[in-house]
């Protein structure tokens, strides 16, 4: 089992496949919810107050985009099963090519964080659907906001980790 987590070539293939699948599904989602944009969806995810969320919902209703917003959130349940795999395989792959023991160990922590990002995305989706279908409340808006914020931070952390591993690899090749 350990060979699975350390075989760089195998991890690279899994990483590339999961990234390609993530992009294909993201494009599919976009085609299903047009003219709603990802910028509008992220703005709703990051609505920090009930006033902001309520104003955005009113705008979605006026633009007749509420059905697309709901469909986008529903489709995101499929997406949240895919993109964490890209993060997991990315953390494992970049850790496997790093020459730093610390970075390799950090990759295993980020695997858990990547799975947590998917769970947080589900929590965020549930809170947004409650906000849309039931009522705009401080608890649902706050839950969606913080779940999205932490999720995006984890994604950013994994990307920075990949960069650090590449820099470590290049630096150690020059020695």
State the pTM of this model: 0.91
Lowest mean pLDDT among 43-57, 75-89, 92-106, 150-164: 92-106
Residue 115: CB partners within 8 Å, gap ≥ 6?
84, 88
Closest CA to 164 of 85, 88, 87, 91: 91
Closest CA relative to residue 161, chosen from 113, 91, 109? 91
CA dist list (Å): 29 to 5, 117, 165: 31, 19, 31
CA gap 144, 53 in Å, rounded: 10
pLDDT tops 70 at residue 59? yes
Radius of gyration from C-alpha coordinates of the chain: 19
Q: Is residue 173 over pLDDT 80?
A: no
Q: What tokens were used for 24?
A: 């294909």
**pLDDT tens-digit profile of 98-125?**
878 899 899 999 999 999 999 999 999 9
Can you give the pLDDT at residue 119? Answer: 98
In terms of pLDDT, which residue wins out, 3 or 128? 128
pLDDT for 175 equals: 60
- Rounded CA-CA distance 48/51 in Å is 9
């Amino acid at each position: 089992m350990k060979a699975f987590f350390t075989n760089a070539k195998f991890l690279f293939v899994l990483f590339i496949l999961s990234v390609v699948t993530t992009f294909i599904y993201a494009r599919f989602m976009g085609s299903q919810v047009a003219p709603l944009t990802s910028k509008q969806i992220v703005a709703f995810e990051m609505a920090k107050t009930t006033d902001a969320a309520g104003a955005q919902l009113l705008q979605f209703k006026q633009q007749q985009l509420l059905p697309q917003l709901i469909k986008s959130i529903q489709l995101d349940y499929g997406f949240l099963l895919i993109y964490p795999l890209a993060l997991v395989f990315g953390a494992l792959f970049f850790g496997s090519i790093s020459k730093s023991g610390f970075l390799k160990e950090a990759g295993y922590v980020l695997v858990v964080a990547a799975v947590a990002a998917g769970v947080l995305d589900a929590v965020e989706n549930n809170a947004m659907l409650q906000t849309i279908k039931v009522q705009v409340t401080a608890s649902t808006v706050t839950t969606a906001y913080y779940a999205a914020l932490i999720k995006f931070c984890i994604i950013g952390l994994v990307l920075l980790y990949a960069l650090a591993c590449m820099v470590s690899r290049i630096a150690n090749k020059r020695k």
